Structure formats: structure tokens, C-alpha cells
Structure 1
């Protein structure tokens, strides 16, 4: 999540918002933890199977990922475990197309032997074809 916020996805999301190009747009400042809460509670139930699959892979790989815990009275988390919060966050990220490399490239859940860079190159090529 932090990587996405700092660098974008390299395809559709830019790492820096250029206000001069979008003078009529509204800006919202948010902390990372508030964005995580928003994604988890708003979109956390939208892609549960993919979210669960990705979280299982992350745990099986013993990946050293940053962990965020938050308090919420949202009904989604009343009896939820930390793993459930993680699944909801990942589910929301999948729904929004936020890459979680090497598990999710922004469009597809990647299998263990798949190279995310291969997919990103394909996506970049598709974007260049639009112009």
C-alpha cells in the first residue's frame, strides 16, 4: 500500500499529482492508516476470495510486509481477527486495482511462478496503444 502511494502503479496511477493539469479537481489529504481504514471498510467485502488467496500466499511466503493495526467500530470488524482485517484490506486493494506485487498486478492475481513484470510490460504496451 505504501509503495503504491509513493510511486503509483507504474501504469495508470501517477506517483505525483500535477495540480496544474487538473485545476478543477478536489484534493483530499489523508494519512496512510486512514486510507487503509477507508479501503478496508468501504471495499473490504468486494473481492474476499482473491483477498484470502493473496493473504494466504503472503503468509506462506513468510513475506516481510509492514503490518498495520487499527481500531474500528465498523460492523465488518466487530468479531474480526487481524487476518480478517488483512483480507478485507487486500480485497479492497484488488477491487480498486492497487498492485500487491508479486501477488497481484493490479488486474490479475498472479500464480506462484508468474512474473509480475511481464504483466506490467503488457499493461504499459496497452496504454501506449491508446494514444
Structure 2
């Protein structure tokens, strides 16, 4: 009888130890803080349609907020620098047809913009096209 009790206790102990090794270990680690950087730079655009296109191009993972100001031709972007580099932001905008301080949109994409959105006077100068 005593042997049976010892065996039951031993099996219970082994079961508890086995269970302890199979359960995930709880870590009391605080979540990483969200990193946010705010950047502003010049982007060429003329109208509300340009504003919508530029802001939509920046509606991506890692970008918390993007606002384009038509009057100042400036975009303000709040983003996570651990997910995106600044040059990627410029490229996202150029890919939809708008020149930035660092990246010029391809001529093919630029020419596909509606006439009201075309801002180049010539290849060397920025500004709204005079109609």
C-alpha cells in the first residue's frame, strides 16, 4: 500500500514537472514603444485631386498620418522609422506622379496625370503649368 502511494506521488510529481516544461513561459516584458518621426518636405501638386493622390500613396503600413498642403506644396508625414526610410516616402509619392525634393516622378507616370495636376513648366523647373 505504501509503495502504491509513493508511486502515485511520484507519477503526479513527474506529470507536474512535464507540464511545466510544455507550457509557454510567461515573460513580463513591456511591449516595444511605438516609434514616431515627423518629417516635412516639398512635393509638387496643384489641386485637391493631387492632394488626394499624394495622401493615398502614403496610406501604408508604418505611416500613421500624412497631410499634403496645396498652398505650401509641403507634405507632413508621421511614420515609424524602424519600418520605413525617408527615401521610401519620396519614392511612394513619385510613383504616383509627383516630384519631391529628392525624387522626380517618371515622365510616363507624370504624363498620365490629369491636366489640372500637371505642374512642370519644363524639365528643369517646378511650378504649375500655365494654360
**TM-score, length-normalised on structure 2?**
0.29
* TM-score, length of structure 1 as denominator length: 0.29
Task: Using CA pairs under 8 Å that are at least 6 residues apart, name the structure with larger relative contact order, 1 or 2.
Answer: 1
Which of the pair is proportionally richer in helix? 1
More strand by share: 2
Q: If you compute each CA radius of gyration, which structure gives the higher value, 1 or 2? A: 2
